[in-house]
Structure 1
Amino acid sequence: MGVTMFDIGVNLTSSQFDRDRDEVVTRAFATEISGMLITGTNLQESEAAQQLAQRYEHCWSTAGVHPHNSSSWTVEVAEAIRQLAQQPRVVAIGECGLDFNRNFSTPQEQEIAFSAQLSLAAELNMPVFLHCRDAHERFITLLKPWLSKLPGSVLHCFTGTRQELEECLANGLYIGITGWVCDERRGLELRELLPLIPADRLLVETDAPWLLPRDLSPKPASRRNEPKNLPHILARIAQWRGEDLPTLSAITDQNVKAVFGVDF
């Protein structure tokens, strides 16, 4: 069985990739990467993500407004996201959710934008690509009424507690794991939780250019993360879960197809 893997979280619109975006994508597909989901974080970035998804093979995108950008949510933005979400290669609403860690937008603005995007996803019958930081209780409260109306929900870059993980799983969420788990300082608690995630709910991601795995050897000269590092992350996840890498990679690829409806 060959090893392939799909990166569900790549911030390919980031200015950190402006000078060598084509090369970054080429390097990714020269490894075992089978596809990438390019993250939209506001209207402009979502439009750029969709253009990149059309430009590169085996790439798709999300359309939405990140909690940090929730203050930009207006009726006009909502309509533009609705139109964009129906364009080719857009397969999820998001990145949306709550982030009470930094509150770059007020909690009230975040809740309005989050609820509106959940409603939009239900209307369009699209899965949601979710963000939650230091806001679990409110996040679940707002999300729960919509879950039966959504074809799938992915909590990207999970870094929460065991109790939070168990509640997310009980509500049917898919769990995205990043190279955070490779961090010997901050990632140990998450590493302990890996075996609790059913294989058929696990998704893997780099969140590039962020969250470069700290245990790469040799240590890269740049702190910029790239999708080419996903095989390292998934190998570590398989190791810490005590599972066979080819089997786990095949299951996570199936999960991507199930939740996002993509064929790669």
Structure 2
Amino acid sequence: MKNYIDIGINLTNRQFHNDIEHIIQNALEATVTQMILTGTSVKGSEEALRIAKEYPTVLYSTAGIHPHDAKSRDNQSIGKLKKLLVNKEVVAVGECGLDFDRDFSPRDQQEKCYKEHLELAIEVQKPLFLHERAAFTRFMAVTKDYLPQLPKAVVHCFTGTLAEAKTYLNNGFYLGFTGAISDTKRFAHLEEVVKYVPLDKIMIETDAPFMLPKNVPKANLVKYHERRNEPAFLPYVAQSIASFKGITVETVALETTKNTKDFFGI
């Protein structure tokens, strides 16, 4: 039997309001047996932990401040994240990094916030859940100063170039792939990336409610939620990887689950 782990779902997003139990049940029925809730702000990280505690050994969470929210952090933010990271359910520092695509927070504030997360990960020795969008050069320039001390890191929702993927791999990072890989128009280049990246460096995620895989049959999309992604659709990400690599979906499920358990210690 195939079991999957979704390393990134935004279960605190308002699109899932009053629907959490249903979402989790759908995932379990789709053999997505464990899920990691992404923390994108102090408040969101606290809420993610609260939800995770309600579903022991099924849900876990991360604690971090998304670069979009870097402008909202204050002198107490990192201390609050540190307290969350003491909990066994909180398995990674993040989501953190740089986003120069939308620039919702000033770039200098994004960099300062990111550096604080890197230092926090080194202190608590928990893996990093990283976000990088349209900021590769600066992202690596900031990160390289910390590399010798950093714990494990995964660049989640990877949509970059093959050259960028190679750099991340050369620095020991894992890559998280979403339904974006099934978008043959916008992200056609990701087929080449997926073919190149070793299976033992791949994890899979939905980034729900975003990044809906293009290969989900319309019949599986819930009425009134045609554009909402769910962790139940994670197998379709695995199907794309299997197709690109010419291997079985069972192999993708087995290997990515093993990678995830080893990486996050779950």
Instruction: Report what 2:176 is aligned to.
Output: 176
User: Does residue 202 of structure 1 match 2:234?
Assistant: no
Query: Quick one: which amino acid aligns to residue 42 of structure 1?
Result: S
Instruction: Report what 2:257 is aligned to.
Output: 253
Contact 2:162–2:192 (CA<8 Å) still a contact in 1? no
Contact 1:4–1:250 (CA<8 Å) still a contact in 2? yes
Instruction: Name the count of aligned residue pairs.
Output: 261
Question: Deviations for 1:209-259, whole angstroms, at most 9, x for unmatched residues?
Answer: 001112222253410000000011101211111112212211111111121
Q: Secondary structure at the match of 1:8?
A: strand
RMSD: 1.1
Alignment of 1:43-82 (within 5 A): 43-57=42-56, 58-82=58-82
Instruction: Report what 1:25 is aligned to.
Output: 24
Report the alpha carbon displacement of residue 147 of structure 1 after superposing the two structures with TM.
Answer: 2.6
Contact 1:10–1:227 (CA<8 Å) still a contact in 2? yes
Report the alpha carbon displacement of residue 151 of structure 1 after superposing the two structures with TM.
Answer: 2.5
User: Which TM-score applies when normalising by structure 1?
Assistant: 0.96
Q: Say which of 229, 232, 238 aligns to 1:234.
A: 238
Instruction: Report what 1:243 is aligned to.
Output: 247
Alignment of 1:44-193 (within 5 A): 44-57=43-56, 58-193=58-193
Report the alpha carbon displacement of residue 184 of structure 1 after superposing the two structures with TM.
Answer: 2.4
Contact 1:122–1:150 (CA<8 Å) still a contact in 2? yes
Report the alpha carbon displacement of residue 22 of structure 1 after superposing the two structures with TM.
Answer: 0.6
The 4+ residue runs of structure 1 with deviation greater than 3 A are none
Contact 1:151–1:259 (CA<8 Å) still a contact in 2? no
5+ unaligned residues in a row in structure 2: which ranges? none
Question: Deviations for 1:149-204, whole angstroms, at most 9, x for unmatched residues?
Answer: 23310100000011111101100100000000111211211122111111110000
Contact 1:126–1:150 (CA<8 Å) still a contact in 2? no
Contact 1:91–1:260 (CA<8 Å) still a contact in 2? yes
User: Does residue 224 of structure 1 match 2:228?
Assistant: yes
Question: Deviations for 1:64-93, whole angstroms, at most 9, x for unmatched residues?
Answer: 000000012222111111111112300100
Over the matched positions of the two proteins, sequence identity in percent amounts to: 39
